[in-house]
Structure 1
Amino acid sequence: MTESTPDRTRVSSWRLLLGNPVTVVSAVLLLVVAIVALAAEWLVPYGINDVDVPNALQGPSGAHWFGTDELGRDVLSRVLVAVQASMQVAVASVAFAVIVGVSIGVVAGYRGGWTDAIVMRVVDVMFAFPVLLLALAIVAILGPGVTTTMLAIGVVYTPIFARVARASTLSVRVEPYVAVSRAMGTGHGYILARHVLPNIAGPLIVQTSLSLAFAILSEAALSFLGLGIQPPEPSLGRMIFDSQGFVTLAWWMAVFPGAAIFLIVVAFNLFGDGLRDVLDPKQRTMAEARRQQ
């Protein structure tokens, strides 16, 4: 018995994905980040707000791997909890953007006509604003906080998913199998769920990975400006802001939070590139050709 085509494609996709060492390393790093995000409370060696002034500004050591800050708080513990908070904000905000943006984009692309024109003009107006500037405006109006940060980042990334979903839907809706389903009298909801969404999932998955990276950066930027996660809850951006007056005395206060942001963002971007090589037909063909050389 021969292996079916979908099974062969699935196996080939996994081989292609696992055959890229950069993608594998980024996936392992993201797995570690996910574990930290889920279990930070059990991993921290000290309380995140345990003040120990006599041991303030101590360098990395066996007792404090990442050193201590200006109040003697353990930097490692605060970085772990800050990574958890950043991931929670990123996942929640991108999930909001995916749900709202994909819904808008699919409806606009599938319906076409005046619906597409009106919806996409609104999306274009939102897309015209710089991401961080629009997020700052939303937070300034609603007030700083975790919930507001999630909402602000989710709103600014919604147009991106709307445009990706619309572009993919426009190409799928003219496929023969969609025309046949319409001719048979199949409902629009069934066509969208059975034919459209599965066939536009690839670009959306890649965009989700990339948007998570930029959501981490956006959250860090808002917290750095004092408009994101509020003290005493630690955040990576706020930790970097607090370290400005101690750069020459305690480099570790800025380096370790900055390194955490850098590693998470790079991992999401590299993993997204690896997914694109598998899910994009053109990129997949090029990757398979390189692998056979």
Structure 2
Amino acid sequence: MTTMDTPKSTENSRVSSWRLLARNPVTLVSALVLVVVAVVAVTANWIAPFGINDIDVPNALQPPSGAHWFGTDELGRDVLSRILVATQASMRIAVVSVAFAVVVGVTVGIVAGFRGGCLDTVLMRVVDVMFAFPVLLLALAVVAILGPGVTTTILAIGIVYTPIFARVARASTLGVRTEPYVAVSRAMGAGDLYILRRHILPNISGPLIVQTSLSLAFAILSEAALSFLGLGIQPPEPSLGRMIFDSQGFVTMAWWMAVFPGAAIFVIVLAFNLFGDGLRDVLDPKQRTMIEARGKR
């Protein structure tokens, strides 16, 4: 009965969590913003009013107007169009790199936490070595070795955030593997793969979902930082970080070149962080209990 009841209770808990999440207006607004960003990222090439590399020197450094809502840059290119396509590139890199970190990091963390022993010690020491390097410094080292570019940026960001997911997965697995329903399932003859799929993964998904949302925000910042330094997305493909870098010589005469790309980064990162905070509140048992108590009062 224990092995049969656990999935049902987990499913009911998820339903309750989503209901509590829907009551948080800040989380709902941030989710709506992320949906809009996702739609923009998918349709950027179709909704951009101008080509991203359409040079129009006579109309260079034009302020925001009806023709160019976000103005033009030093080459007369439409800033809005470039921001839309740059958002698409940033989201693509963030999603792929974080997906890489989730797959590798969660696999390492679950194996280390579930198996324990020498394997746990060896894997966690490797993770600790990776943690010893600052995030941006480690990403710069990877890019410096492999060379700049989109693929290298994805790999660098993925490697940087892999140990984070490994630690989260391991810590959560250590708490779940000693639960009675895991022991009962093992006593009934269930194999390790069945236990991992049926009991471990569903019960550690909460912290991993929250960490994924937060990591997406930092991946956006990491990509912008690498592109700002000239090590990320390479011209002529636009990047939010590169657009800010190119605006440095025109800040006093063309403020829009820096403000709008910076605002795009700010809104996306803030939305991911607020959405992650909302997820943490409803998926954490203590926070959920407090929210439910406030709702009853």
- TM-score scaled by structure 2? 0.95
The answer to whether the 8 Å contact 2:10/2:203 transfers is: no
What is residue 138 of structure 1 aligned with on the other side? 142
What is residue 278 of structure 2 aligned with on the other side? 274
Aligned pairs for 1:193-212 (under 5 A) are 193-212=197-216
Question: Partners of 2:15 and 2:90 in 1: how far apart?
Answer: 34
Q: Which amino acid in the other structure matches residue 168 of structure 1? A: S
Deviations 1:101-137 (A, max 9, x none): 0000000000000010010010011011100000000
What root-mean-square deviation, in Å, do the aligned CA atoms of Structure 1 and Structure 2 show?
Answer: 1.2
Change (3 A) 1:115 1:9: closer
Change (3 A) 1:171 1:18: same
Query: Is 1:81 equivalent to 2:90 in the alignment?
Result: no
The answer to whether the 8 Å contact 2:213/2:276 transfers is: yes
What is residue 93 of structure 1 aligned with on the other side? 97
What is residue 232 of structure 1 aligned with on the other side? 236
Deviations 1:128-175 (A, max 9, x none): 110000000000000000000000000000000000000000000000
1:48 alignment partner, SS class:
coil
Q: Which amino acid in the other structure matches residue 276 of structure 1? A: R
Q: Which amino acid in the other structure matches residue 197 of structure 2? A: A
Question: Partners of 1:35 and 1:249 in 2: how far apart?
Answer: 32
Query: Is 1:65 equivalent to 2:64 in the alignment?
Result: no
**Deviating runs (4+, > 2 A) in structure 1?**
4-15, 289-293
Question: Partners of 1:74 and 1:192 in 2: how far apart?
Answer: 51
Question: Partners of 2:269 and 2:19 in 1: how far apart?
Answer: 25
Q: How many residues align?
A: 290
What is residue 108 of structure 2 aligned with on the other side? 104
- TM-score scaled by structure 1? 0.97
Question: Partners of 1:93 and 1:234 in 2: how far apart?
Answer: 19
Aligned pairs for 1:118-157 (under 5 A) are 118-157=122-161
Q: Which amino acid in the other structure matches residue 91 of structure 1? A: V
Change (3 A) 1:103 1:6: closer
What is residue 49 of structure 1 aligned with on the other side? 53
What is residue 25 of structure 2 aligned with on the other side? 21
2:93 alignment partner, SS class:
helix
Change (3 A) 1:8 1:134: closer
1:232 alignment partner, SS class:
coil
Q: Give the drift of 1:9.
A: 4.0
Change (3 A) 1:222 1:7: closer
Q: Give the drift of 1:291.
A: 2.8
Identity %: 81
The answer to whether the 8 Å contact 2:10/2:202 transfers is: no
Among candidates 272, 287, 292, match of residue 288 of structure 1: 292
Change (3 A) 1:11 1:187: closer
Query: Is 1:222 equivalent to 2:238 in the alignment?
Result: no
Q: Which amino acid in the other structure matches residue 243 of structure 2? A: M
Q: Give the drift of 1:184.
A: 1.9
Query: Is 1:258 equivalent to 2:258 in the alignment?
Result: no
Q: Which amino acid in the other structure matches residue 200 of structure 2? A: V
Among candidates 159, 166, 183, match of residue 162 of structure 1: 166
Q: Which amino acid in the other structure matches residue 51 of structure 2? A: G
Question: Partners of 1:251 and 1:35 in 2: how far apart?
Answer: 27
Q: Which amino acid in the other structure matches residue 267 of structure 1? A: A
What is residue 34 of structure 1 aligned with on the other side? 38
